[in-house]
Structures are given as C-alpha cells and as structure tokens.
Amino acid sequence: MTAILSTSGLGKRFDGLRANHDIDFALAPGEIHALIGPNGAGKTTFVSMLIGRLAPSEGTIRFDGRDVTRMPAHRRVALGMAYTFQITSVFGRLSCAENVALAARGRDADVQRALERVGLAERAAEIAGDLSYGHQRLLEIAMGLAQRPRLLILDEPTQGLAESEVAAFKQLIRALVPDTTILLIEHNMSVVMELADRITVLNFGEVLAQGTPAQIHDNPAVQAAYLGTGGQDAED
C-alpha cells in the first residue's frame, strides 16, 4: 500500500549539531502510528520538518505521492495535513465555537460537528481561556478536525486530561480511522499500546525500532533506551 506520508534519509543539523539523521519513515493510510522516544530523542525536530516548520538539512518528505520537502506549512495544511501543538495554541479570549470556526474557515456545520466529536458541544459559547487545560487540549483537537484533515498529527494530546477524558480520547481516535490517518506523539505508554497499529521509536535523532506494539514492547534495545527507564518526559 502506498504511504500517505513518507520520509527518506531525512536529517536536520543545527550549527553542526545533528538533531535527526537518516530517518526513513512511512505512514500507511488509515492507520494510527505512534512516535515515541526518550527526552532529547529528536521527535519534535522530526515532526517540525513533517509539518513545514523546519526545513530539513537533507532527505525528502512526501505526502500523498507529492514531494513537499520545501513546501511551506500552510500549503501542507491545504493538502490535508493538520497538527496540534504540544502546548495549547487556542485563542484564549475567543469562545470555543469561534476558535473552531477559525480553523474551519467559517463552515458552521464543521464547527458544531467538531465540538460534538470531542465532547465540547455544550461548551461552544464558553471562553476558551476559562476552560481547564485538559478541555483546551480537546478544543485544539476539535480545531484540527474542523480542517477535515487526511492526516492528523497529535503532539502529546492526553497531557493534562483526566482518566475519564483519556478514555473518551481513545474512543474518539478509534472513530476517526480509517477516514483520517493519525500520527500520535505520546508519552502515555498505555495509550500508545492500546491505540497504535505501528510504533516508531526515535533515539539520539535516529530510528531505533519500528513495529507493532507487541514487537516494540519486546524489543531489548527499546526497553533499554526508553521503556525500561520509567520516564515520562513531557518534551524534547
């Protein structure tokens, strides 16, 4: 099956410091693919290149068969890529509905549907800045959904969510596929293991392992580098 998103030999250097190196990655249409790794593994740099916030030093990025390596972020969004930030980026002085409307470009039906899907329909008129952090995270996901993405990249989406909200989030993500492909950057390993079809592990800016949740769980190198540390770092 042709990948909806792929990279070949992707790398990034900052003033001689190698943040990512020779990353070959493929995301199949309709799958939930998790990206994990310890603090400093290079996940943020990698994702920033995927969405067009950073230009690669080498390698290529393809989306839906098209070379988007040098394409600006807004054009990638227009092609069907949506991204939610690790730190919430909602407009605090606007209502929930107004936030989603900005992302939906004014399509009212999309606004209501997006809020319903994340469980915030009854809070549509509330000011986003008055929401709890967890609800702001859900609002940001609604903003992503309102763009009708073919690929939704979620960066630490369960951070700040209560246990009941995490359960609802998992149900939501399962309902999105196969119409929407999901790339999930997440430190909550129970969420990763329950949701992901496949997992890619980064370490020191390179791919350490790729495979099913069972394969990743049983991989000695992954256990030594990440799973065995017990760490739940919030960022890299």
In a domain, 234, yes or no: no
How many whole angstroms separate alpha carbon 162 and alpha carbon 218?
Answer: 29
- Taking alpha carbons only, the member of 185, 218, 144, 149 closest to residue 4 is 149
Residues 15 and 31 occupy one common structural domain: yes
The answer on 179 and 118 residing in a single domain is: no
Which residue(s) pair with 61 in the sheet? 7
Contact 212, 197 (CB under 8 A): yes
Average pLDDT over residues 168-186: 91
Output the CA–CA distances (angstroms, integers) from residue 188 to 135, 156, 192, 197, in the order listed: 18, 8, 6, 16
Q: Taking 60 as the threshold, does the pLDDT of residue 231 lie above it?
A: no
pLDDT at 233 over 50: no
Based on the fold, state whether residues 16 and 69 are members of the same structural domain: yes
Q: Which pLDDT does position 134 carry in this prediction?
A: 83
Which tokens is 77 given? 């969004």
Determine the Cα–Cα distance for residues 122 and 108; give it in Å rounded to an integer. 15
**Domain boundary at 126, 148, 170, which?**
148
| Boundaries of domain holding 143 | 91-148
Whether residues 57 and 164 share a domain: the answer is yes
164 with 219, same domain: the answer is yes
pLDDT > 90 in the chain, percent: 56
Look at residues 120, 163, 167 and name the one whose alpha carbon lies nearest to residue 141. Answer: 120
> Which among 223, 155, 228, 216 has a CA at the least distance from the CA of 186?
155
User: Under a CB-based contact definition with an 8 Å cutoff, are residues 219 and 225 in contact?
Assistant: no
Q: How many domains does one find in the chain?
A: 2
Domain shared by 211 and 169, yes or no? yes
